């Protein structure tokens, strides 16, 4: 992944979420959400089910338009951009339920992920022009490197749908990395993984950060989230209720209330 | 024996044409999950365009052939842009009805442009039929077989070897996944329509010399191609080829040994049989993903 995400110096946030609102019918899925993601950091986005985490992911990636509010990526508003344009700018994601191209090989999944980074046009690729060939060889090398990175190099020619679930998750991470993102959104990457796999995943995420990629992580495995995150944002019922370093957030009363149920407020009977 | 061989030859010629049409159905389905019931009309446009360019405008066959394919492919993309993409709620049933409507529209347009008469043009190469064991094989049939082989090989390479081809497949396998890795979905659909209707044009332009072309030829050809695609397994390129040829040959045998009135019935009997016995087609995979 050379020459990709050049780390920005200083503390300019890579992603700024400003006052984002989204309602589905009468339900306020996102209620004036605002926070920043520091460059090359890991931010854990936590909250009970239905807090709006996945909705926020959908809004950031452009799969869903917010009702109001603005999202700025690397200092530029991306509000009007379509999904593939945001991918081209450097926003990639994985899904809670793993959305692979099941009938295609592991290698082909990555190659498709590289699609936005190749320039050869369709006609050129059909005519097998030398430039295209070179580019496709290069793409293949990059894809193999990514498979190495997640440890799937020996399964490149297997059908991706036949892989065990944990490996499919790794493959999806590798596919997201193929787009050479600067921001990677991971939606419950540890769901369905065993402890060893979860440990490996944690190392992998830190490794991704060390490559200068910013990570926004939704994860219910609290020990994983708290151990690898630099920063935590807590959502509840569409609103942001807390934000800060893991230790501070863990001690926060509003967070405890959201997770464990509201403390009985002393009222007169 | 000689009779059988003769039926086989004529069956192969028709079969090759059905195969190209089936290929158009199958590849569009492969990339967009859509069945274009106006596909036969694009075959008609191909044939009649070819007639106009050669017999009408006096353009040489080879350039006329390529111009025809380009024009029809452009028409196919225009169709996608104007009638398919703007659909707010793109459910399969809605889109299929739209393609049925488009087929009626195109047939009407064809009638306005080329009239109700049937047209014909001379073969690509004016060579006497080849005599094999007493059966005659038309030179144009050989041409058609060559074209089918080249097209299939080309498409196969496109899907298996090029990134664009893989991206197109990815769109069909998992829309959400394709969306998020940044494949410009709209362009892919447009491209798939262009390629698919271009294939239709190839079929039309190739049969213009051996058949009478008229504005209403597309319906039956489209249905035959669809049968071929279903027979072989919708979405499978080799299946489309196999299905097309099988249909053509069985049809010819039916005409030869049973009755000539049986010709078109063969296709539909086969289609019914396939739908009962093996809905996924001969080469189709059992698991058909729906979303």
The CATH number of the domain where B221 resides is what? 1.10.3470
Question: In total, how many domains does chain B have?
Answer: 1
CB–CB contact B183 A115 (8 Å): yes
Domain containing residue B203? 2-125+135-277
Asked if residue A140 lies in contact with residue A134, where contact means CB atoms within 8 angstroms, the answer is no
CB contact under 8 A, A63 and B289: no
pLDDT of residue A115: 82
**Arithmetic mean of pLDDT, B66-70:** 95
Work out the minimum CA distance from A138 to partner chain B, whole angstroms.
12
Residues of chain B contacting residue A92, judged by C-beta atoms under 8 Å apart: 180-182
Residue A114 is predicted with a pLDDT of 87
Of A107-121, B43-57, B147-161, B183-197, the one with minimum mean pLDDT is A107-121
B5: left (phi over 0), alpha (psi -120 to 50) or beta: alpha
Share of chain B above pLDDT 90, in %: 40
Query: What range does the domain containing A65 cover?
Result: 13-90+181-260
The verdict on residue B222 lying in a domain is yes
Closest residue of chain B to A95, computed from CA coordinates: B177
- Full-model pTM: 0.79
Quick one: A111 and A163 in the same domain? yes
Q: What residues pair up with A38 in beta bridges, in sequence order?
A: A13
Instruction: Report if residue B289 sits inside a domain.
Output: no
- In a domain, residue B35? The reply is yes
Residue A4 has a pLDDT of 44
Do A150 and A188 belong together in one domain? no
Q: Are residues A31 and A81 in the same domain?
A: yes
Averaged over successive runs of 10 residues, the pLDDT of chain A (269 residues) comes to: 44 88 90 92 91 92 92 91 90 91 92 78 58 79 92 92 91 93 94 90 94 94 93 92 90 81 54
Task: Name the domain count of chain A.
Answer: 2
Residue of A87, A102, A136 lying closest to B182 (CB–CB): A87
> Under 8 Å CB-to-CB from B14, ≥6 apart: which residues?
B248, B251, B252
Residue of A52, A64, A84, A90 whose CA lies nearest to A187: A52
Residues with Cβ within 8 Å of B227's Cβ and at least 6 positions away in sequence, in order, are B18, B22, B243, B247, B267, B268, B270, B271
Q: For position A119, what pLDDT does the model report?
A: 62
B103 or B266, which is more confident? B103
* ipTM reported for the complex, 2 dp: 0.77
Overall size of chain B counted in residues: 291
- Residue A1 within a domain: no
Q: Are residues A152 and A19 in the same domain?
A: no
Whether B163 sits inside 8 A of A118 (CB atoms) is: yes
Report the residue of B178, B182, B190, B198 to disrupt the A interface, i.e. the one with the largest count of A CBs within 10 Å.
Answer: B182
The last residue of one of the domains, among A128, A145, A172, is A172
Establish, for the pair of chains A and B, how many residue pairs have beta carbons separated by less than 8 Å.
92
């Amino acid at each position: 992944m050379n020459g990709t995400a050049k780390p920005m110096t200083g503390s300019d946030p890579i992603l700024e979420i400003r006052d984002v609102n989204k309602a589905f019918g009468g339900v306020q899925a996102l209620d004036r959400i605002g926070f920043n993601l520091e460059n090359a950091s890991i931010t854990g986005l936590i909250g009970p089910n239905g807090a709006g985490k996945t909705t926020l992911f959908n809004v950031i990636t452009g799969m869903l338009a917010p009702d109001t509010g603005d999202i700025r990526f690397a200092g530029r508003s991306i509000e009007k951009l379509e999904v593939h344009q945001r991918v081209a700018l450097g926003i990639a994601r994985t899904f809670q339920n793993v959305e692979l191209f099941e009938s295609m090989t592991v290698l082909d999944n990555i190659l498709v992920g590289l699609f936005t980074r190749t320039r050869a046009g369709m006609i050129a690729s059909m005519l097998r022009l030398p430039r295209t060939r070179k580019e496709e060889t290069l793409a293949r090398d990059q894809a193999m490197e990514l498979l190495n990175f997640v440890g799937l190099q020996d399964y490149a020619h297997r059908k991706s749908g036949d892989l065990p679930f944990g490996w499919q998750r790794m493959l999806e991470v590798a596919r997201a990395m193929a787009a050479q993102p600067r921001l990677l959104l991971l939606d419950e990457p540890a769901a369905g993984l065993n402890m060893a796999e979860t440990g490996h995943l944690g190392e992998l995420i830190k490794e991704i950060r060390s490559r200068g990629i910013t990570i926004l992580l939704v994860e219910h495995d609290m020990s994983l989230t708290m151990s690898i995150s630099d920063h935590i944002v807590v959502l509840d019922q569409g609103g942001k209720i807390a934000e800060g370093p893991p230790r501070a957030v863990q001690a926060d009363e509003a967070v405890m209330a959201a997770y464990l149920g509201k403390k009985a407020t002393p009222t007169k009977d | 024996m000689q009779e059988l061989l003769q039926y086989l030859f004529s069956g192969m010629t028709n079969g090759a044409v059905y195969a190209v049409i089936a290929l158009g159905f199958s590849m569009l389905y492969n990339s967009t999950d859509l069945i274009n019931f106006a596909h036969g009309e694009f075959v008609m446009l191909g044939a009649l365009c070819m007639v106009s360019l050669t017999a009408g405008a006096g353009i040489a066959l080879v350039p006329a052939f390529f111009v025809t394919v380009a024009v029809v492919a452009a028409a196919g993309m225009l169709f996608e842009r104007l009638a398919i993409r703007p659909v707010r709620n793109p459910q399969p049933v809605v889109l299929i009805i739209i393609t049925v409507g488009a087929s009626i529209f195109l047939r009407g347009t064809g009638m306005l442009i080329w009239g109700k008469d049937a047209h014909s043009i001379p073969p690509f190469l004016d060579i006497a039929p080849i005599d094999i064991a007493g059966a005659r094989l038309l030179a144009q049939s050989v041409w058609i077989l060559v074209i089918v082989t080249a097209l299939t090989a080309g498409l196969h390479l496109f899907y298996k070897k090029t990134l664009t081809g893989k991206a197109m497949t990815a769109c069909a396998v998992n829309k959400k996944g394709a969306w998020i890795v940044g494949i410009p979905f709209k362009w892919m659909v447009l491209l798939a329509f262009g390629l698919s209707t271009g294939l239709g044009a190839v079929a039309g332009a190739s049969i213009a010399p051996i058949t009478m072309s008229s504005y209403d030829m597309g319906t039956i050809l489209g249905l035959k191609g669809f049968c071929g695609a279903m027979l072989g397994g919708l979405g499978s390129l080799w299946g489309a080829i196999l299905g097309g040829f099988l249909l053509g040959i069985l049809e010819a045998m039916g005409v030869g040994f049973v009755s000539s009135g049986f010709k078109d019935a063969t296709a539909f009997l086969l289609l019914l049989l396939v739908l009962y016995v093996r809905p996924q087609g001969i080469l189709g995979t059992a698991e058909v993903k729906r979303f």
